[in-house]
Chains A and B, each alone.
Chain A
Amino acid sequence: MGKNLMKRKEPLTDTQLLMTITIGIFLVMYLLAMIFLQGGFLHTQQIFDMLNDNASLIIVSCGLTIVMIGGGIDISVGAVTSLVVMSCVLYLNGGGNLFVSMLIAVAIGLCFGVGQGFLISYLEIQPFIVTLAGMFFARGMTTILSVNPQKAEHEGFTLLRDTKIEIPWLGYVAKNGNLVPARIELGVVVAFICIILIFVMLKYNRMGRNFYAIGGNQQSALMLGINVKRTRFMSYVLSGLLSGLSGYVFMMHTGAGNATNAAGMEMNAIASSIIGGTLLTGGVGNVIGTLFGTLTLTTIKKIVVSSGFNDPWWQSITTGGMLCFFILLQSVVLGRRSRKKK
């Protein structure tokens, strides 16, 4: 009898359930857009454009997902991204080395991650405050570096920037009869490598599982023998590192540094994570969900624009509505679950 019981299919965990909902909603939404709005939504390039434009957002959202699974928050990610863009552009324009510029990006991200992580985990200061300070700090530094927009002129870099992977069989035939292949920027590749690595880490790595444990119940995690402080520290280090990467990807997409780069990116990243099924309270979430969270958010914006609402505030309003809807959905779904248990 025991054998049969064991083979039974398990109900989804909270993480799986929320992720499934997000993916489902994304697919339905996209399908509806294809049917009713047609236009760009019928081309595969639409999806690739969404990825090209948002590769850096996807990367910071993944970092934020890690932090949020651990029960924390990091709102410095957008500002750090911006600082990395500006630093790297200035360095390259000053005749720097391409490889070193990548190291600089990673190093800046790591610095913020380590510093903030230390303050939050070991000195036990509120993560919101610490990363808020980090955000102001990074923004300020960016402006000190240059008030004016800086275009990257470095030869090697422009080559890298303009490199696109072309996939002919995913392309489409334009009106003039030419085949337009699907174009993917290198940043998207970086983003997907990040997603895969983080996914594997969160599922199969000891530290990855520990993130879930400390987010689920910090006190319990301590009792279970987990080094809570170090685990939390690592979540911020990873988030910082990913912000650095995101900065470089951002630069490869825009090719210029600007003090207002990535403004409000942290909020979009939080929104992506939440829509992707990460709970603000911690312990539940997944990077695949976050990817779809970002796509859902972007699709909504595209739908709003395609429907003729061109003013930017319509995008904000729909994003706000979307977020409310998802948070409500999460609490209803999870609330119903815990009631069913009793």
Chain B
Amino acid sequence: MQEATLLQMRHIDKRFPGVLALNNVDFTLRGGEIHALMGENGAGKSTLIKILTGVYQMDGGEILVEGEQATIRSPQDAQNHGISTVYQEITLCPNLTVGENMFIGRENSPWIKHKEREERADEILGQLGIPARSTQQLGSCSLAVQQMVAIARAVDMNCKVLILDEPTSSLDDKEVNMLFSLMKDLKSKGVGIIFVTHFLEQVYEVSDRITVLRNGELVGEYLTSELPQVELVAKMIGKELDELSALSEVDEKKSVQGEVFYEARDLSSSDAMPFDFTIRKGEVNGFTGLLGSGRSESVRAIFGADKVTGGKVKIKGEEVKITHPIDAMKHGIGYLAEDRKRDGIIADLSVRENIILALQVMNGMFKPISRSESEAFADEYIKVLNIKTASRETPVGSLSGGNQQKVILARWLLTHPDYLILDEPTRGIDVGTKLEIQKLVLKLAEDGVSVTFISSEVEEMLRTCSRLIVMRDRHIVGELKGQDLTQAKVMKTIAGGEKQNENE
């Protein structure tokens, strides 16, 4: 049941220092529809949502709610216009009861009538079919139920527009289904729902319409039923399918036949589903898939960066246990983390100190690297990797992104790893440095180092990897090599590959 236009965002512009985050974006939401907002990282989804909820102010454009101009300057303003948001992380208080969480912060009277409120809460929970009782402590409910309580709160506030920002990322299948039936229920009551997610299948399961953003620009608005999954992926990544097929450069990459260096069976971690994975000596492989598909989680499991929950790992044929990064490092595995600022550099330490960090950890606390030794190492890698820094004692934080990345690379190269995992090493750095890093990867492979290379840019991976593992919704859906290494093929696999390790 489609109703009249509920919300219109017209010609929205948003600038951040140095970036145009949103450029002339339109977005329309009708009553009684579930509208998926899609786009890769940096596409501008969250910026758009934040403008709508009053967290950010737009620099240009207008917002119309039910045909009337609306000024939204704070979350409270958004609330008053009937716009409610349920975030990925639960924004409720776990120490209060379910009922209290639904009403706190919006009472008119300073005295609280617990009985009345509990009855009202139970009534709403009952209507929405949420399996919770008002007197239960919120913290004792599952995450899914907590999320639904947040939705119930929004519903009781007469929300017309409900924004669900990545609501399913920490839910299991059963919980997702519960959430979906609640969404459909609200939809039939005329609520307009904006659904932000990375899970393609979920989009096709519940949404009526899809709006795709890319690089801060509107790609288009489509009816879900009329947009095949492959095309959606193409629109998100930014290549038309025909163009891709035409481009397909079939250059035979010889598959590497060296000995198997690393082998995992049913490896799983707190964040990664069980998967199998093998890499040979001197091989460069890649994990690809959309953001949130589980590619980073998988390599983090290999390195022991998240809590490893199961599976067997063999290195050079021998069974080993890797449950902590230090175990992985001792077996010659290095990992360049996806988030450089959080997991990589220590901004206040100098270039030299950052470079010797991993080696020092490997050596242990009681075998310090002497000053002159560390200076020699630092100078060597500054030269080899062409790191542009004032001196080896400059704090890393003052270097450019690309050079920071090189410093972290140097840190791992210094440990002389047999297997190096590079998670998004080229993100946010200039083209020249990107090429340098790609060349370095190939050079390392020639020297017999195994490399796993992850990048959001498919071309980059096609250039460097001889084998690509494709993931979707936290499962491996395909493995491509040789002639299959083309953009079109990768995209088809991302969009439509069968779950479990389907062989191409």
Contacts and interface: CB of A to CB of B under 8 A. Distances in A.
Interface of A: 2, 5-6, 8, 10-11, 13-15, 204-207, 209-210, 212-213, 215-217, 219-221, 223-226, 283-284, 337-338, 341
Contacts of A220: 90-93
Contacts of A223: 75, 87, 91
A206 B94 contact: no
Contact of B96 (A2, A216, A341): A216
Interface string B78-116: 010000000100111111110011001111011110100
Interface in B40-80: 75-76, 79
A205 to B, nearest CB: 6
A204 B97 CA distance: 14
A8 B133 contact: yes
Give 9 closest A-B pairs by Cβ, nearest first.
A225-B105, A216-B93, A216-B95, A283-B95, A224-B105, A223-B91, A220-B91, A226-B105, A13-B137
A209 B112 contact: yes
B137 A224 contact: no
Nearest to B138: A216
B93 A212 contact: yes
A227 to B, nearest CB: 9
B142 interface: yes
23 contacts: A6-B133, A10-B136, A13-B95, A14-B137, A204-B111, A205-B110, A206-B107, A206-B110, A209-B100, A209-B104, A212-B93, A212-B95, A216-B95, A216-B96, A220-B91, A220-B92, A220-B93, A224-B91, A224-B104, A224-B105, A283-B94, A341-B140, A341-B141
B185 interface: no
Contacts of B91: 217, 219-220, 223-224
Contacts of B97: 13
Given A210-B104, A284-B95, 4 more contacts: A206-B107, A212-B96, A213-B104, A224-B106
B112 A205 contact: yes
Given A11-B140, A210-B104, A224 B92 contact: yes
B94 A217 contact: yes
A201 B196 CA distance: 41
A253 to B, nearest CB: 34
Contacts of B350: none
B105 A10 contact: no
A219 B75 CA distance: 13
Contacts of B394: none
Contact of A217 (B79, B92, B100, B126): B92
A226 B103 CA distance: 11
A7 B94 CA distance: 22
B139 interface: yes
A223 B122 CA distance: 22
A206 B137 contact: no
A210 B110 CA distance: 11
Contact of B106 (A205, A207, A225): A225
Contacts of A206: 107, 109-112
A335 to B, nearest CB: 12
A99 to B, nearest CB: 29
A333 B370 CA distance: 49
B433 interface: no
B20 to A, nearest CB: 28
B135 interface: yes
B105 A221 contact: yes
B327 to A, nearest CB: 26
Contacts of A338: 139
Given A6-B122, A206-B112, A209-B112, A226 B137 contact: no
B100 to A, nearest CB: 7
Nearest to A9: B135
B488 to A, nearest CB: 43
A123 B151 CA distance: 34
Contacts of A209: 96, 100, 104, 112
A90 to B, nearest CB: 39
A205 B112 CA distance: 6
B217 to A, nearest CB: 30
Contacts of A210: 104-105
Contacts of B109: 206
Given A204-B114, A226-B105, A213 B137 contact: no
